Amino acid sequence: MKSFLAGLITLALLITAVCVNTFYIIKKTDGLIRSLERLPLECSEADTTAFSEEWESSKAWIALTVHRENVDEIDYTLELLRLHCRSGNKEGYLSARQKLLCIAERLRETESFSLSRIF
């Protein structure tokens, strides 16, 4: 009986942890997507820095439960975004901005309660 209860509690804790983690990641990625959409089409270092700080604040937790490849891709693209912004490369900046949006949306879809990626 004790082991059954321990198993049940473990299962309940796991389900809770998975759900809490999913809600957290969805919330954070939604925030990142909104921030990216609010980034002006004309580059602004202040805005890109603000976005970078927002990402850094969420990164540690997201990296615990998400494939490292996604996290690295965001880091890399963010660096590109800042680089293009500093160098005044508008096309590069817009391309990096769009890529970040795609990655964030993909991350949200991967971590959401959806059966689309089961098979």
Partner 1 sequence: MVTVFIRTLLIYFILIISMRLMGKRQVGELQLSELIVTIMLSDFAATPIYETDIPFSYAIIPILLLLSVEVILSFIILHAPKLKILLGGRPSLIIRKGILDQKELARQRMCISELISSLRQQGIADINNVEYAILEENGKLSVFEKAEKKPPSAECSGIDICEPGISHSLIIDRNIIARNLENAGWTEGHLKDELRKLQKSPRDVLLFSVNDCGETTIIYKEEQ
Binding residues for partner 1, total number by CB under 8 A = 18
> How far is the C-alpha of 118 from the C-alpha of 20, rounded, in Å?
20
Burial pattern 15-44, b for ≥16 Cβ within 10 A else e, equals eeeeeebeeebbebbeebbebbeebeeebe
Does 83 bind partner 1 (CB under 8 A)? Our answer is no
* Residue carrying the six token digits 């949200």: 108
Among 41, 64, 115, 118, binds partner 1 (CB under 8 A): 64
**Shortest distance (Å) from residue 106 CB to partner 1:** 16
Here the tokens at position 2 are: 């004790």
Task: Tell me how many degrees the CA angle 27-22-78 measures, rounded to the nearest 5.
Answer: 55
Closer CB to partner 1, 69 or 91, in the complex: 69
Stretch that binds partner 1, among 40-48, 61-69, 73-81, 85-93 (CB under 8 A): 61-69
Where in 19-48 is the site for partner 1 (CB under 8 A)?
A: none
Does 7 bind partner 1 (CB under 8 A)? Our answer is yes
DSSP symbol at 114: -
Binding site for partner 1 (CB under 8 A): 1, 3-4, 6-8, 10-11, 14, 17-18, 63-69
